[in-house]
Amino acid sequence: MKNLIAILFATLFLAGCSSTVTSEQTEEKRLPNIVVIFTDDQGYQDVGCFGSPNIKTPHLDQMAKEGIKMTNFYVAQAVCSASRAALLTGCYSNRLGIHGAYMPFVGKGLHPEEETIAEMLKPLGYKTAIYGKWHLGSESVFLPTRQGFDEYFGIPYSNDMWPLHPQQGTVFDFGDLPLMENEETIDTLEDQSMLTTWYTERAVAFIEKNKEHPFFLYVPHSMPHVPLFVSDKFKGKSARGLYGDVIEEIDWSTGQILQALKDQGLDDHTLVIFTSDNGPWLSYGTHSGSALPLREGKGTSLEGGVRVPFIARWPGHIPAGTETSQPAMTIDVLPTIAKITGANLPARTIDGREMTALLTSSGAEVTPHHDAYYIYYKKNELHAVLSGDGRWKLYFPHTYRSINDRVGRDDGNPIDYTYDNEMQMELYDLRNDISETKNVLDDHPEIVEQLRAYAEEARTELGDSLSDREGKGVRPLGQI
């Protein structure tokens, strides 16, 4: 009965989203499929429709023309594991006790009692799969198959965590990089050139196999995280060098997935989301992406670290050619999927809020669905508060890493960051200063006061290692 009610709710919602929903679709009472494509360290500018001057992404550009391009979309933290946890659970990652990027086999991961998008959808009969990078715990108890996914193929953590890492033997002691099928290691990888192709082939086969069932397909690409690998069919094709080759292969992959949906008659039944887990890893020079015109990149709470490209497509529901500057965050994806499918939200507290009005509004201004967004970083430090309309961003004193405008190397090896760059309390008007060049703290005391009040609420709820408060809503990390 519970599932029937959910299906009827979803049908009514879908019928109300657009006048183009046909009577045949309504009669089918078909739940929408969900596809989430999540790249690794792809910069804000690294898509043609987001301004790349030398990377061609025709499939992503067409996807934006047929759907929505969100120019103010954020991740919860600018680093791998924390960002993925927020996407899959709808929670700020610090609520889950997850910070930074997990090292291999350290006995830590997403707590088994947390509910992922996959687990939320399973009671409605969804088939679920992940093809790509997991990075939420590498022991069996933490793997995707224990968090609602029927199928898993990919790597359990970042593709640089292997013996050829530049700091192997000095800072790290990594073993071979495992390629996993469900809970078994089926190979170890030195040559990663076929990973994007393999993920794509699995995704297409999954769509074909499950065309009669609602499904959730999660494709968290290993690339363009360094080291960069690309298949022969894209090697040397891009004017941007190896990094551009990698992005153009990801664009091809997206095109293959979209074509598979069309071929199976699922185009109008499927919400497809494309975004990145954080900004570019700038110390790798030509092997890293670009966040321009944003400031800094991965590993910082500045705009280049946490603002990422976002495209969503759902014919008949998301109006074609939509662009919006109103903000949203990865924590909003889970409740949005719950809204359009009729799934019950997780029993535990989440932080995201559904954004269907934003997706279906043809770019018109809608009421912000959050009063504020909170940008935390490692060690549970509250670095910044973003106003709900996306205009104002208040930073609190902290240090951050930077290459200080130096040019990174072009051989795949990093240049060193400096870690003593200090930020005081600073306020930026992002609507008029996207590059965060002018601190307007003294000019807007009322804005500062309001954002500080929001920050106090966050500290009470989620803590802040720089204060003497302990977050009452922080839940235990999964550990073995």
pLDDT of 181 reads 98
Structure-token match 């408060």, residue found: 469
Paired tokens of 434: 């996207």
pLDDT of 164 reads 84
pLDDT by residue for the chain (480 residues), tens only, comes to 434 444 444 444 444 444 333 333 343 578 999 999 999 999 999 999 999 999 999 999 999 999 999 999 999 999 999 999 999 999 999 999 998 899 999 999 999 999 999 999 999 999 999 999 999 999 999 999 999 999 999 999 999 999 988 888 888 889 999 999 999 999 999 999 999 999 999 999 999 999 999 999 999 999 999 999 999 999 999 999 999 999 999 999 999 999 999 999 999 999 999 999 999 999 999 999 999 999 999 999 999 999 999 999 999 999 999 999 999 999 999 999 999 999 999 999 999 999 999 999 887 778 899 999 999 997 789 999 999 999 999 999 999 999 998 887 877 788 999 998 999 999 999 999 999 999 999 999 999 999 999 999 999 999 888 776 677 888 988 888
Please state, in angstroms and rounded to a whole number, the distance separating the CA atoms of residues 455 and 235: 47
Query: Angle 333-341/80-89 helices, nearest 10 degrees?
Result: 20
Q: What is the DSSP letter of 51?
A: T
Paired tokens of 346: 């997780």
Contacts for 22 with CB less than 8 Å, ≥ 6 apart:
none
Please state, in angstroms and rounded to a whole number, the distance separating the CA atoms of residues 309 and 448: 28
- Partners of residue 38 on adjacent β-strands: 220, 275
Amino acid letter at 110? L
pLDDT of 285 reads 93
Written out in words, the top-level CATH class of the domain with range 374-479 is alpha beta
pLDDT of 19 reads 36
pLDDT of 468 reads 66
Query: Could you state, in order of their start, the residue ranges of all structural domains in the chain?
Result: 2-370, 374-479
pLDDT of 477 reads 86
Please state, in angstroms and rounded to a whole number, the distance separating the CA atoms of residues 248 and 99: 31
For the CA atoms of 426, 432, 437, 439, the dihedral, rounded to the nearest 10 degrees, stands at -30
* Structural contact between residues 381 and 340, judged by C-beta atoms closer than 8 angstroms: no
Structure-token match 């306020």, residue found: 427
* Structural contact between residues 179 and 187, judged by C-beta atoms closer than 8 angstroms: yes
* Structural contact between residues 145 and 181, judged by C-beta atoms closer than 8 angstroms: no
- Partners of residue 393 on adjacent β-strands: 386, 428
Could you confirm whether 221 is annotated as catalytic?
no
Instruction: State the catalytic residue, choosing from 59, 99, 111, 135.
Output: 135
Closest CA to 373 of 430, 317, 416: 430
Could you confirm whether 80 is annotated as catalytic?
yes
Q: What are phi and psi of 88, to 5 degrees?
A: -80, -20
2-370 and 374-479 share one fold: no
pLDDT of 165 reads 84
CATH of 2-370, one of 3.40.50.300, 3.40.50.11810, 3.40.50.880, 3.40.720.10: 3.40.720.10
pTM of the model: 0.93
Q: What is the DSSP letter of 172?
A: B
Strands, DSSP E only, in 244-380?
A: 270-276, 307-313, 322-324, 328-329, 372-377
Chain centre distance of CA 121? 19
Instruction: State the catalytic residue, choosing from 17, 49, 80, 91.
Output: 80
